[in-house]
Structure 1
Amino acid sequence: MFVNWSEMLPTIQKAFGSLGKSNPKMVKAYMALAEASSEHNVLDAKTRELISIAVAVTTRCDGCIGAHTDEAIKAGATREEIAATLATAVQMNAGAAYIYSLRTLEAYDTLKK
Protein backbone atom coordinates (compact mmCIF):
# COMPACT_ATOMS: atom_id res chain seq x y z
CA MET A 1 0.00 0.00 0.00
CA PHE A 2 1.38 3.42 -0.95
CA VAL A 3 -0.44 5.37 1.74
CA ASN A 4 -2.77 4.42 4.57
CA TRP A 5 -5.66 6.42 3.14
CA SER A 6 -8.01 5.64 6.03
CA GLU A 7 -5.58 7.20 8.50
CA MET A 8 -4.53 10.05 6.23
CA LEU A 9 -7.88 11.86 6.11
CA PRO A 10 -8.33 12.24 9.90
CA THR A 11 -4.67 13.25 10.20
CA ILE A 12 -5.11 15.94 7.56
CA GLN A 13 -8.32 17.18 9.17
CA LYS A 14 -6.59 17.46 12.53
CA ALA A 15 -3.60 19.26 11.03
CA PHE A 16 -5.93 21.50 9.02
CA GLY A 17 -7.60 22.57 12.26
CA SER A 18 -4.22 23.22 13.84
CA LEU A 19 -3.16 25.50 11.00
CA GLY A 20 -6.54 27.18 11.16
CA LYS A 21 -5.89 28.16 14.77
CA SER A 22 -2.60 29.73 13.73
CA ASN A 23 -4.01 31.51 10.71
CA PRO A 24 -7.81 31.60 10.76
CA LYS A 25 -8.08 34.26 8.08
CA MET A 26 -6.16 32.15 5.59
CA VAL A 27 -8.27 29.05 6.29
CA LYS A 28 -11.48 31.08 5.97
CA ALA A 29 -10.31 32.35 2.56
CA TYR A 30 -9.36 28.81 1.50
CA MET A 31 -12.78 27.49 2.48
CA ALA A 32 -14.42 30.34 0.58
CA LEU A 33 -12.76 29.02 -2.60
CA ALA A 34 -14.67 25.74 -2.29
CA GLU A 35 -17.92 27.59 -1.73
CA ALA A 36 -17.30 29.91 -4.68
CA SER A 37 -16.47 27.05 -7.05
CA SER A 38 -19.86 25.44 -6.50
CA GLU A 39 -21.91 28.62 -6.17
CA HIS A 40 -23.80 28.45 -9.47
CA ASN A 41 -24.30 24.67 -9.47
CA VAL A 42 -23.40 24.38 -13.15
CA LEU A 43 -21.38 21.25 -12.36
CA ASP A 44 -22.72 18.64 -9.99
CA ALA A 45 -20.72 17.55 -6.95
CA LYS A 46 -19.53 14.30 -8.56
CA THR A 47 -18.18 16.11 -11.63
CA ARG A 48 -16.40 18.70 -9.47
CA GLU A 49 -14.80 15.92 -7.40
CA LEU A 50 -13.69 14.00 -10.49
CA ILE A 51 -12.05 17.15 -11.83
CA SER A 52 -10.44 17.67 -8.43
CA ILE A 53 -9.03 14.14 -8.53
CA ALA A 54 -7.48 14.75 -11.95
CA VAL A 55 -5.91 17.97 -10.73
CA ALA A 56 -4.70 16.27 -7.52
CA VAL A 57 -2.98 13.56 -9.56
CA THR A 58 -1.27 16.03 -11.90
CA THR A 59 -0.10 18.15 -8.96
CA ARG A 60 0.94 15.05 -6.98
CA CYS A 61 -0.99 15.92 -3.81
CA ASP A 62 -1.70 12.80 -1.73
CA GLY A 63 -3.90 14.69 0.70
CA CYS A 64 -5.96 16.07 -2.17
CA ILE A 65 -6.21 12.62 -3.76
CA GLY A 66 -7.51 11.13 -0.52
CA ALA A 67 -9.93 13.93 0.28
CA HIS A 68 -11.39 14.27 -3.20
CA THR A 69 -11.62 10.52 -3.77
CA ASP A 70 -13.56 10.25 -0.52
CA GLU A 71 -15.87 13.08 -1.60
CA ALA A 72 -16.28 11.56 -5.08
CA ILE A 73 -17.37 8.27 -3.53
CA LYS A 74 -19.88 10.15 -1.35
CA ALA A 75 -21.15 11.91 -4.49
CA GLY A 76 -21.73 8.54 -6.18
CA ALA A 77 -18.65 8.16 -8.36
CA THR A 78 -17.88 4.61 -9.46
CA ARG A 79 -14.46 3.03 -9.71
CA GLU A 80 -14.85 3.10 -13.50
CA GLU A 81 -15.54 6.85 -13.49
CA ILE A 82 -12.50 7.44 -11.32
CA ALA A 83 -10.39 5.26 -13.64
CA ALA A 84 -11.58 7.29 -16.64
CA THR A 85 -10.71 10.47 -14.75
CA LEU A 86 -7.22 9.10 -14.08
CA ALA A 87 -6.75 8.27 -17.76
CA THR A 88 -7.47 11.91 -18.58
CA ALA A 89 -5.02 13.07 -15.88
CA VAL A 90 -2.29 10.83 -17.30
CA GLN A 91 -2.95 12.08 -20.83
CA MET A 92 -2.85 15.72 -19.71
CA ASN A 93 0.27 15.34 -17.60
CA ALA A 94 2.16 13.61 -20.39
CA GLY A 95 0.99 16.35 -22.75
CA ALA A 96 2.19 19.00 -20.32
CA ALA A 97 5.59 17.32 -20.09
CA TYR A 98 5.80 17.30 -23.89
CA ILE A 99 4.94 21.02 -24.14
CA TYR A 100 7.42 21.92 -21.40
CA SER A 101 10.05 19.84 -23.19
CA LEU A 102 9.49 22.03 -26.27
CA ARG A 103 9.82 25.13 -24.08
CA THR A 104 13.09 23.77 -22.67
CA LEU A 105 14.51 23.26 -26.15
CA GLU A 106 13.38 26.78 -27.07
CA ALA A 107 15.15 28.11 -23.97
CA TYR A 108 18.29 26.22 -24.94
CA ASP A 109 18.23 27.50 -28.50
CA THR A 110 17.64 31.08 -27.31
CA LEU A 111 20.26 31.01 -24.59
CA LYS A 112 22.89 29.20 -26.65
CA LYS A 113 23.14 32.16 -29.08
Structure 2
Amino acid sequence: MEQFTNWAEHTAHVKKSFGKLGQNHPKMLEGYKALNQAAAAEALDLKTRELIALAVAVTTRCESCISVHAEEAAKAGATESEIAGALATAIALNAGAAYTYALRAMEAVEAQKQK
Protein backbone atom coordinates (compact mmCIF):
# COMPACT_ATOMS: atom_id res chain seq x y z
CA MET A 1 0.00 0.00 0.00
CA GLU A 2 1.25 3.45 -0.90
CA GLN A 3 1.85 5.76 2.06
CA PHE A 4 -0.59 8.65 2.11
CA THR A 5 -0.18 12.15 3.47
CA ASN A 6 -3.74 13.47 3.52
CA TRP A 7 -5.38 11.96 6.62
CA ALA A 8 -8.84 13.42 5.96
CA GLU A 9 -8.85 12.03 2.42
CA HIS A 10 -7.65 8.66 3.66
CA THR A 11 -10.34 8.52 6.36
CA ALA A 12 -13.03 9.19 3.75
CA HIS A 13 -11.52 6.48 1.54
CA VAL A 14 -11.48 3.97 4.42
CA LYS A 15 -15.12 4.65 5.26
CA LYS A 16 -16.16 4.37 1.60
CA SER A 17 -14.20 1.12 1.17
CA PHE A 18 -15.66 -0.28 4.37
CA GLY A 19 -19.14 0.45 3.09
CA LYS A 20 -18.38 -1.21 -0.24
CA LEU A 21 -17.16 -4.36 1.52
CA GLY A 22 -20.33 -4.28 3.60
CA GLN A 23 -22.46 -4.13 0.44
CA ASN A 24 -20.73 -7.26 -0.80
CA HIS A 25 -20.92 -9.02 2.56
CA PRO A 26 -23.82 -7.53 4.54
CA LYS A 27 -23.74 -10.14 7.31
CA MET A 28 -20.13 -9.23 8.08
CA LEU A 29 -21.07 -5.56 8.30
CA GLU A 30 -24.07 -6.35 10.52
CA GLY A 31 -21.84 -8.39 12.83
CA TYR A 32 -19.22 -5.65 12.96
CA LYS A 33 -21.84 -3.02 13.77
CA ALA A 34 -23.32 -5.27 16.48
CA LEU A 35 -19.88 -5.72 18.02
CA ASN A 36 -19.31 -1.96 18.09
CA GLN A 37 -22.77 -1.33 19.53
CA ALA A 38 -22.19 -3.91 22.27
CA ALA A 39 -18.87 -2.32 23.20
CA ALA A 40 -20.41 1.16 23.19
CA ALA A 41 -23.18 0.07 25.56
CA GLU A 42 -20.77 -0.51 28.44
CA ALA A 43 -19.22 1.74 31.08
CA LEU A 44 -16.75 3.74 28.98
CA ASP A 45 -17.69 7.10 27.53
CA LEU A 46 -17.11 7.78 23.83
CA LYS A 47 -13.96 9.88 24.33
CA THR A 48 -12.30 7.20 26.48
CA ARG A 49 -13.23 4.50 23.97
CA GLU A 50 -11.74 6.53 21.11
CA LEU A 51 -8.54 7.19 23.07
CA ILE A 52 -8.21 3.45 23.69
CA ALA A 53 -9.03 2.71 20.04
CA LEU A 54 -6.35 5.15 18.87
CA ALA A 55 -3.75 3.61 21.20
CA VAL A 56 -4.68 0.10 20.03
CA ALA A 57 -4.46 1.27 16.41
CA VAL A 58 -0.88 2.33 17.11
CA THR A 59 0.04 -0.97 18.78
CA THR A 60 -1.49 -2.97 15.92
CA ARG A 61 0.14 -0.67 13.35
CA CYS A 62 -3.12 -0.06 11.49
CA GLU A 63 -2.85 3.27 9.65
CA SER A 64 -6.46 3.15 8.52
CA CYS A 65 -7.54 2.58 12.13
CA ILE A 66 -5.32 5.48 13.23
CA SER A 67 -6.92 7.70 10.60
CA VAL A 68 -10.50 6.88 11.57
CA HIS A 69 -9.98 6.92 15.34
CA ALA A 70 -7.92 10.13 15.27
CA GLU A 71 -10.92 11.79 13.64
CA GLU A 72 -13.34 10.21 16.13
CA ALA A 73 -11.17 11.09 19.16
CA ALA A 74 -11.05 14.72 18.03
CA LYS A 75 -14.84 14.75 17.47
CA ALA A 76 -15.33 13.26 20.95
CA GLY A 77 -13.41 16.19 22.45
CA ALA A 78 -10.11 14.51 23.29
CA THR A 79 -7.44 17.07 24.03
CA GLU A 80 -3.91 16.92 22.64
CA SER A 81 -2.72 16.10 26.15
CA GLU A 82 -5.17 13.20 26.49
CA ILE A 83 -4.22 11.90 23.05
CA ALA A 84 -0.52 12.16 23.91
CA GLY A 85 -1.18 10.27 27.15
CA ALA A 86 -3.00 7.48 25.34
CA LEU A 87 -0.25 7.24 22.72
CA ALA A 88 2.46 7.25 25.40
CA THR A 89 0.68 4.29 26.99
CA ALA A 90 0.72 2.50 23.61
CA ILE A 91 4.45 3.21 23.24
CA ALA A 92 5.18 1.92 26.74
CA LEU A 93 3.10 -1.20 26.14
CA ASN A 94 4.95 -1.93 22.91
CA ALA A 95 8.27 -1.43 24.68
CA GLY A 96 7.14 -3.77 27.44
CA ALA A 97 6.12 -6.40 24.91
CA ALA A 98 9.49 -6.12 23.17
CA TYR A 99 11.22 -6.45 26.54
CA THR A 100 9.35 -9.64 27.43
CA TYR A 101 10.01 -11.11 23.99
CA ALA A 102 13.68 -10.23 24.42
CA LEU A 103 13.64 -12.32 27.61
CA ARG A 104 12.12 -15.21 25.62
CA ALA A 105 14.83 -14.79 22.98
CA MET A 106 17.49 -15.02 25.67
CA GLU A 107 15.84 -18.23 26.95
CA ALA A 108 15.83 -19.62 23.40
CA VAL A 109 19.53 -18.85 22.98
CA GLU A 110 20.34 -20.57 26.27
CA ALA A 111 18.24 -23.60 25.31
CA GLN A 112 19.98 -23.84 21.94
CA LYS A 113 23.41 -23.72 23.60
CA GLN A 114 22.49 -26.68 25.81
CA LYS A 115 21.62 -29.01 22.90
Q: So what's the TM-score if we normalise by structure 1?
A: 0.89
Gaps of 5+ in 1: none
Provide the aligned length of Structure 1 versus Structure 2. Answer: 112
Deviations 1:54-108, CA, capped at 9 Å, x for gaps: 1000111111111111111111101111011111111111111111121223234
**Structure 1 pair 2–22 and aligned structure 2 pair: CA distance change class (3 A):** closer
**Structure 1 pair 98–22 and aligned structure 2 pair: CA distance change class (3 A):** same
User: Partner residue of 2:75?
Assistant: 74
Deviations 1:27-54, CA, capped at 9 Å, x for gaps: 21112111111112x1111001001111
Q: What is the RMSD of the two structures over their aligned residues, measured on CA atoms?
A: 1.7
User: Partner residue of 2:91?
Assistant: 90
User: Partner residue of 1:65?
Assistant: 66
Q: Distance in 1 between matches of 2:14 and 2:36?
A: 17
Gaps of 5+ in 2: none
Determine what percentage of the aligned residue pairs are the same residue: 55
State the secondary structure of the residue aligned to 2:44.
coil
Q: Distance in 2 between matches of 1:60 and 1:10?
A: 19
Q: Is the 8 A contact 2:4 2:10 kept in 1?
A: no
User: Partner residue of 2:37?
Assistant: 35
**Structure 1 pair 26–7 and aligned structure 2 pair: CA distance change class (3 A):** same
Q: Distance in 1 between matches of 2:63 and 2:45?
A: 23
